[in-house]
Structures are given as C-alpha cells and as structure tokens.
Structure 1
Amino acid sequence: MDQLGKTTLQNGVEMAIQLIDSTNKQVEQGDLTLAEAQERVKVYLIGEMNADGKRTISSPVDLGANGYFVVYDEEGLEVAHPTIEGKNVWEAKDVDGKLLVQEQIKVAQSGGGFVEYKWAIPTDENVIEKKITFNKVDPNWGWIISAGTYEMDFNTGANNVLKALAITLILSLLIGAIISYFFARRISKPIVAVTSHVQEVANGNLALEVTKQRRSDEIGELVNGFSSMIENLKDLIGKVNRSVVSVTSTSQNLSAVAEETTASSEEVGRAIQEISQGAVQQASDAERTFNATVELANQIKLLSEKTQQMSHASEQVVASNNVGMSSVEILKVKSNETEISVTQTKNVIESLSEKVKEIGTIIETINQISEQTNLLALNASIEAARAGEHGKGFAVVASEVRKLAEGTSQATEKVRQTLSGIIEVTNIANKEMEKTKNLAKEQLFAVTETGDSFSQIEISVKGIATIISEVNENIDLLINSKDDVSNAVERIASVSEESAASTEQISSSIDEQLRAIVVVSSAANELNELITDLKREVEKFKLEE
C-alpha cells in the first residue's frame, strides 16, 4: 500500500505536468493568456480561490484523505497552496528541524523524487504524522510541482479490514474465514487489475477500459482515479497526435514557402543588382551631361559677348553709313554746281572772241573756278576713298576733274602768255568743256548710284541690326535657361547617386533576407525532424484496440 500510494503521488505529479504542457499550448496559440492558464491549472490541482485568499481542496485527483498539491517557484514562494498561497516558505522546517522546502526544490531540480518529513495533519495541528511528497520541475513555467499525503492514509482501509477480521475471528472462525476469503478477494481483485493496467500503461497501451468502482474506500478511489487518469492521458495523447499532424503539415508548408521565397529573393536580388548597375551608369551619364551643360553655358556666354561686339560694330556701320550718305548729298550738290560752272565756262569761252577786252577778268574767273574744281576733286577723292569699293568709279571722275582743273590753270596761263592763240585755245576749251559737261553728267550719275548703294547698305545694316537684336534676345533666353538646365541636371545627378546608394542598401537587405530565409528553412527542417521523433514516441501509445 505504501508503494501504491507513492505511485499515486508520482502519477499525480506527472499528470499535473502534462496538464500544464497542454494548457501552455493554448497560451502559445493565443486562446488563453498566461495568467488565465496558470489559474486554470491551480483550480484543477487544488480548487477555486475563496474570498479569504484560501482554496478549498476539490481536486479530481485523489491523493488520499489528507493529500493535496503544492506549487513552489525556485525561490520557495508558494505559487499555489490551499491556505498560504503567495507566502515564501524557503526557511520552513519540520519538527526535526529539516528544511523541507529546500530539499523538495533540490530533489525536483535533480530530476524528481520523494521527500519525507513530519508535519501536522490538516484537521488537527497538534497531531504530527509522517508525510510523503513527490516533487518535480515543470519545464514550461519552471514550477516545482509537489503532491503529498500522510503515510497513515495509505493503510487506513487495510486497518479497518484487519479490525473487522479480528472481530469476525473472535465471533466465529468459520464465518470469519469465509468473510475473510470473500473480503480479501474483493480487495485483491481490483488491486491486481489496477496493477496489470498500470503495467500496460507503463508499456504505452492506453487502449484499455478500467471499470469504475462504486465502492467509496481508497481502493475504489484508486481504481476510479486510475480510470480518470487513463481517460485524461488518452485525451492528451490524442491532442498531441493531432497537433503533431497539424504541425507536420505546417512545417512542410513552411519549408516549401521558404524555398519559394529563397528563389524569389534571389531573382529580386539579381534584378536589384542590375538596377544598381544602371543607377551607377545613370549617375555617371548625368555627371558627364552636367559637365557638357556647363561647357555649353560657357560657349553661350562667349557667343553672347561676340554678339554684343557685332551689335556694337553694326552701330558703327550705321553711323559710318550716315556719314557716307551725308557726303553723297554734298557730292550731288557739288556735281550740280560743277555742271553749272562748266556750262557757264562754255558760254564764256564761246563769247571769248567777242569779249577779248574782258579776258583778264575771265581768266581770273577761270582761275578761281579751277581752284574750286581742284578742291572739289580733292574732296571727291577723299570721299571716294572712304566709300571703298563703291567709290572707285567716283575716284576716277575726281582724278579727271583734278586733271581738268590743272589743264584749265595751264590754259589760262597760256592765255596770259599769248593772246594770239586765244581763238584756238577757245576752240580747244569749247571741246574740253563739252567733255567736262559729259564727265559732270557721268559724275552726277555715279554719285546718284553711290547714294542708292548707301541707301541699300543702310537698309541691310538695319536688317542686320534687327537680326542681331533678336539673336541677343534668344541668347538671353538661353542664358536664363541654361541655369535651369544646369540645376536640373545637377539634381538628376544627385538623385541618381542617391538611387544608386539606396539600391545598394536594398541589395544588402535582400542578402540579409536570404540568409534569414536559409535559417528559417533550416529551422523548419529541424522542426520537421523533431516532429517526426515526437510522432514516433506518441505512436508508442495504443489508444484503441
């Protein structure tokens, strides 16, 4: 009976640990909070918490008349207790001075075991009896689970039987023998059956049915508790089996997803690498474009300066053209005066023979005209030189006029020298005057053409000035736009550099993700192996016949 009682305590602790493991899975699945799960276990092992902070022992697990569960943490705090829950009992001693709590925790942390000590019974603090506890550490929450009862509870039923037998023997040996036989059979049969069933359970066979007893003694409680334990184990192993199947499927899916994700991440990594190279090339192209834009801006600035110089030169040409036009107008006037003078000279020469007496005056007049003509010819030569290519014909006329003036001067000198040849000279003069008149007409025509040329030059120069002004305006627009273009290209280059840096960072993140996925895949494979091992262990239990 002592051994059977110890087995009951040990089975009770193992059952409590399995209950904690099952409840903790609900916490991991999010069905319960940790506090709810722990309270549920406390209620199952001991009972509901009363208003006074104590728990009424109402556990379905039968540990004997005075037996109950206790839960400690590793520092001796009463995590669960019928009367002193929340109190630290690390220094608790029994009547012999034994540090019972410390020894219980030490034995539990060493793999589990029994601890015996002397303690007052719950119904009478003055009665000290030997108490036996089985202690073990729960791997999920770190609780030290202790199931204990008094040794006297192991033999209560047997003592009652012995008393009955003694009385029966005194009354009648025969009746006593018969009663003893049937009574012993009644006691031994369920115990033998339970012992056989315990061996089957120890071998992993849960596919057996234990008939519950209607008797209310310890044997009945033992058999009924053992039956409840088998049902609980069946339920627990069934849930574990279903969880193993579900976790196996999830693990396989996780492995497949990890492989697919790895392949996708590698493709994304390659794409990111290509984008990174393109971004670097784009940044390089943007930098070269920026440099070219700066060079273009410098060329535009230089072109603007040249255009301003052309505009200034055009203004000078316009001014020179105005001066040329003024000179041409003067030449026109002088040409008209020359023609008039030549006509008058001709008339004078024609009447020279009649006015010999006035020859001195006429010679003086001719000298004056000759000097004036020479001066005009000189001025005409100067203006023709200024006119450039267009003034060449005019220069020839001016040269001829100058020669004519010189000839006139010589002629008058000859007239002075000799009056006898005046008639001949007059005739020669008349011919020369006719030529001079023609030359004057030609000079006037050339001057007119020169004026028209200067007018055409003025129109062309004004057109050139207008075009230069428009070019200046366009260049100003280019100068204003080139700053915007330069800034835009600079921003593009900056964005390209940032894009290249970001792409490199993304590529690095993809590499890290790949490594993480490899770790997840490895963990999934390890999980699958662990689940396979767990499934083999669960399959050792036979749940059905």
Structure 2
Amino acid sequence: MKLRISHKLIAMMLVILIVPNIIIGSVAYFIAKDQMDNLGRTTLKNGVEMALQLIDSANKQVEDGELTLEEAQERVKVYLIGEMNADGKRTISSPVDLGENGYFVAYDEKGLELAHPTIEGKNVWETADTDGSLFVQEQIKIAQNGGGFVEYSWALPTDENSRELKITYNKMDPNWGWIISAGTYEMDFNQGANQVLIALVITLAISIVIGGFLSYYFAGKISKPINSITNHVTEVANGNLAVHVEELKRSDEIGELVNGFGKMVHNLRELITKVNGSVHSITSTSQNLSAVAEETTASSEEIGKAIGEISKGAVQQASDADDTFNATVELANQIQSLSDKTKLMSEASSQVVASNKIGMTSVSTLKDKSSDTEMSVGQTKEVIETLTEKVKEIEMIIGTINSISEQTNLLALNASIEAARAGEHGKGFAVVASEVRKLAEETSNATDKVRQTLSGIIDVTSIANYEMDKTKLLAKEQLDAVMETEQSFKKIAGSVSGIESIISDVNDNIQLLVSSKDNVSNAVESIAAVSQQSAASTEQITSSIDEQLNAIVVVSDSAQELNDLINDLKLEIEKFKLQS
C-alpha cells in the first residue's frame, strides 16, 4: 500500500519523538543504576578502610597504655555497630551509612563472629547461601589476600522467604587479625534508579500523547492542500473543468499554488464556455450560409431558364436579383458577427495561457523551495556532526579532571592515616583530609554525571543524524510530487495550445468567407445590372450568370470547409466537462 505524505510525516515525527526518549531514558536508567551500584561498593570499601584505620588508632592507644585490648576492641565494636544490649545483641547505630540494611561484621580466621548485630560469638565457618556457596570462607580468603568484594544470595531481614543479592567488602586488619566485612543488599543501592525509571516512563507517555496530536495537526496542514490540488490536477488533465477549487487563506507557496490553479481552471472554464457558445453560433451561420447557397443556386437555374424567355421574364429576373442581394447582405452580416466572436475566442485563449503560466511559476517556486529544504537538511547534518566532535573533546577534558580527583582522594586517604597515627595532634589535620576527600569524591561524581550527559548527547545526535537522512529522503519525495504536478500543467498547456491552433484555423477560414462575401456582393450587383440591360444584351446576362455561379461555388466550398472545422472543434470541446 502506498503511504500518503501525511502518514509519512506523522510516522517520521513520532519516530523522532519516541526513539530519542526511549534511548535517553534507558541509558539514564542503566547509567544511574550502574553508578549507584559503584557508589554503594565504594561506600562499603571506604567503610572497611575507615574501620581498619579506627582499629589501628585504637591499637596505638593499647600500645601506649591508655586502654586495655578488651576496652579498645569493645570501643571499635560500639563505633562500627552499636552498644551491646542485655540480650547479647547490638542495636545498629553506626555513624557510617551502609544503606537501609547494611552493617559491619568482624570474623577471626576460623569464622568466629567477633562483632555482629545478632549472632556475635557464633562460629559461621560452614554457613552457606541458597546456592550452597560457603561465602564466609570466601570472605576470609579474599580478606587475607589483600581485600575484595563477595556476592551471595541472602534472606531479607523483614521477610525470610525473600532472597536478594547481598554485597560485602572484606579486608584483614594486620593488628588484631580481624576480618572486617561491610555488607548490604544491592537493592538498597538501586532505589533512586527505580524512581528515575518511573519518572522517565511517565514523561515518555505524556510526550507521545502531545507529540502525536501535534504531528497529526501539522501533517494535515501540509498534506491536505497538496492531496486536494493533486486530485484537481488529475481531474483537469482528464478534461473535467467542473471541479471547484476553494481559495486558501495562506501566503506560503502551497497557498499560491492552490489559488493560482483555481484561477487558471476558472479562466479555462470560461474560455471553453465561450468557445462552445461560439460553435453553436457558427453552426447556425453555416446552416444559413448553406441555405443561401441553395437559394442562390435555385435562382441561377431560374435565370438560366429565363435566358430563352428574356423578353417575357425580365421583370421576374429583376425581382429574383433583389432577393439575392438581400440574402447576400444578411450573409455578410452573419460572417462579420462570426469574425467578432472568433476574436473573443482568441482573447479568452490568451487569458488561459497566461493563467497556465502563473500556475507553472507557482510550481517552479515550490520546486525551488523543496530544493532549498533539501540543502538546509544537509547543512543541519554537518552542524550535528561538528557538535559530536566537540562533545568528544569535552569528554577527554572530563577524563583528565576525574584522574586528578582520584589522585586527590588517594592523597586525602593517606593524610587521614597519618593523622590517625599522630593521635591528638593530628585531629585537625584529619578533619582537613576528610573534607578534601569529600571534595574529591564530589568532583569525581560530578565529572561522571557530565560524562554520562555527554554520552547521551552523542547517542542522541547520532539518532538525529539518522533522522536527518530520512528527512532528506522525504524532501526528495516531495520534490518528485511537485515534478508530477508540473507535468500535469504541461499537459494542460498542450491542450490549450491545440485549442489556440484550431481557433486560428477557424479565423483564417472566416477571413476567407469575408473575402468571398465581397465576391458575392459584386456578383449580385452584376446580376442587377444585367437585369436592367437584359433587353440590350443576352451575352452580358450569360456572362453575369457565369460569374454568379462561380461565386456560389466559392460560398458552397467555404460553407463545407467551415462545417468540417466546426465538427473538429466540437470534438475537442466535448473532451472537457463544464458542469458537475
């Protein structure tokens, strides 16, 4: 099935609206989810590193004799988890935010829970997750090898039947030999990403509804006049001049094309109407001319018979000469009227030619505008490609800033360690190092968001570049449609040219009739003179009769030729439909 221009425009605009929104939304969701996962993992790792620094600081106090080992260890447990309750459990009140369900755990090398919110003092060496993996042993092994992440499936605290992925970061303390583990559920990291996904879905739905309405509205504004004028052009090309073209109150090229075509059809319809009326008049005149020719022939026969009876038929001959003269005068008047109407037909034909030229000019202007549109689409495509290159250059600069941020974060961490080693004298420096680390992390987060945005822009510009190619193809199809309209106008011009040629032939033959009219008048005057002198010279009468017969033959031939031209003109006029 052949798609109309309106359908193509609506489909193109909806694709341009929906595809970028889906891509941007999907990319934003997955990037946000990935970044939140990375942020959660970084939080776990930083929490463990902080706990190791805390143990190192507490151990120095033990070495300096300020605390006993048991006091120092309990202080670390209280800071990481919370105070021990009477039931042997700890209420989680750590200042370190590990997520809604996150907390610290400390093992020894044999799997004994040295610090835990609920099962402190229990050995969990053989504990396995739902897949049968001995994750505690894996945590201890990774911690002893320098630290790392462990993932396993575990029941939710609020629902024992629900299993979710849990992530822990594990590292061994060199002072007490503790395996410090900080863990939480991955779903705690993704709550923000899920909210982003819901907002994007709602925004996409609203955009599709509004964009669909606007696409339908503007597509109709463009395609309806083009479809209407195309149908009218086809009708006129097939000879139907009864079409009614409504005037458009628009000042653009489409309005000029429709209004110019309507004016041309109106002028052409008036011309054909006038030609049709003139044909009827010419037919009547031709019939009168034939009757006059027959009557004149009959009179000549009577005159031939009267030659043998000149003496007794002179009066009758004079009367017949008077009748012939009156008929000739009437014939001359009708021929003159026919000549005037032919001139009107020629002027109307010129008006049709002028209207057709106006229509051709409008089509040419529309064709030029279509070419300009195609060129503008190409230039827009070049601008989008240049924008993509600039975005890539900005992304390289963001990479350099991110590298500086990571180095600053590492320096801040080293400064915190040195401040912890300095004890009371390094507290001020520790605060400064902490603020520097936060600033570095915020810088890293900001550069990551900028990089995400730039990546989205690159993807969207690639889609826009693809849509520009489709728009360029659509502009070419529009140009092809204008070319078809131009061909229809050329067909109309050819038909009008044929009518002009026929009218020219009719005019030439009418001029011949005018010339013949003078001959007939002269012949009739000669007949009258011969009638007056009939008694004096029979030879003069015979000569006048011969001249009259020759003139009648000319009139008869002209009348026959005029009838043939009228028949041809009728056939051409019948090709056009003037009334609905």
TM-score by length of 2: 0.33
TM-score by length of 1: 0.35
